[in-house]
């Protein structure tokens, strides 16, 4: 893929390293001259010193052939502008960093591929690590109103029962069952076994009830 990263801070640099290791072609647009120079010396990809919220700069970066664009600056106004410009070029995948969680709805209105709030994700992860000893939080979704967790089935009452028969709350579901190195997409008739690790999707207010049924 041809990917443009707008913003070469710590996250941008780390993401660039991962993408490069997978063989993707990348360009980083960085507004700060010193940071752009540092990135050029430390990364094996094209670095453009310029403002990524300017159309001509994005054209220089190859926006017309880009498969994906990621807006990663610490300024939501810039990221929103980048997304608006990129949409006009019909880029297939547009991802934005959300710095202020209260502005997430503005990104949703743009109908981009994804908007990721680092603050909300970090707070949710720390909160769940502290308060939910029985499940490993993977992702907070729907503005923190729902969670994706991994839970190991240890409840004897759930052993050898179909998922539809274990009594999960109505606003909880099991999406994947991991057993003996194999991942299975869960169905209502899928039979659970003690020791399975399941991927649970649930509203935040039903987490404990759902975990208790599995644990």
Provide the 3-class DSSP secondary structure of residue 47.
strand
Residues 17-41 have pLDDT tens digits of: 989 889 999 999 999 999 999 999 9
Alpha carbon distance 147, 131 (integer Å): 13
Average pLDDT, the chain: 89
- For position 139, what pLDDT does the model report? 67
β-bridge mates for residue 114, sequence order: 95
pLDDT of residue 135: 58
Phi/psi at 212 (5° precision): -60, -35
H or E element, residue 185: strand 182-185
Phi, psi for 89 (deg, rounded to 5): -95, 0
Least confident of 127-131, 143-147, 204-208: 127-131
Q: What is the pLDDT of residue 104?
A: 79
Q: Is the pLDDT of residue 50 over 70?
A: yes
Fold of 2-118: Rossmann fold (3.40.50)
Q: Where are the domains of the chain?
A: 2-118, 126-214
pLDDT tens, residue by residue, 75-118:
999 999 999 999 999 999 999 999 888 887 888 888 888 888 77
Residue 48 CB coordination number (10 Å): 22
Cα 58 to Cα 39, 95, 114, 161: the distances in Å are 18, 15, 20, 55
Using DSSP's 3-state secondary structure scheme, residue 71 falls into strand
Q: At the topology level of CATH, where does 126-214 sit? A: Alpha-Beta Plaits (3.30.70)
CA distances, 98 to each of 54, 115, 155, 186 (Å): 19, 6, 39, 32
Model confidence, pTM: 0.66
């Amino acid at each position: 893929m041809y990917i443009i990263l707008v913003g070469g801070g710590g996250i941008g640099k780390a993401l660039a390293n991962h993408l490069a290791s997978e063989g993707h072609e990348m360009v980083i647009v960085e507004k700060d001259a010193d940071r752009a120079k540092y990135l050029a010396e430390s990364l094996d990809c094209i670095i453009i010193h310029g403002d990524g919220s300017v159309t001509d700069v994005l054209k220089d970066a190859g926006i017309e052939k880009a498969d994906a664009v990621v807006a990663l600056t610490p300024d939501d106004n810039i990221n929103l502008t980048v997304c608006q410009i990129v949409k006009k070029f019909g880029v297939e995948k547009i991802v934005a960093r959300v710095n202020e969680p209260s502005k997430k709805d503005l990104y949703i209105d743009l109908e981009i591929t994804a908007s990721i709030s680092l603050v909300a994700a970090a707070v949710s992860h720390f909160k769940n690590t502290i308060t939910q000893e029985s499940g490993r939080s993977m992702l907070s979704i729907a503005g923190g109103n729902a969670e994706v967790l991994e839970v190991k089935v240890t409840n004897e009452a759930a052993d050898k029962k179909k998922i539809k028969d274990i009594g999960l709350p109505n606003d909880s579901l099991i999406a994947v069952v991991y057993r003996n190195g194999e991942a299975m997409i869960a169905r209502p008739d899928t039979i659970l076994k003690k020791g399975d690790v399941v991927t649970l999707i649930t509203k935040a207010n039903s987490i404990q009830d759902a975990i208790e049924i599995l644990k």
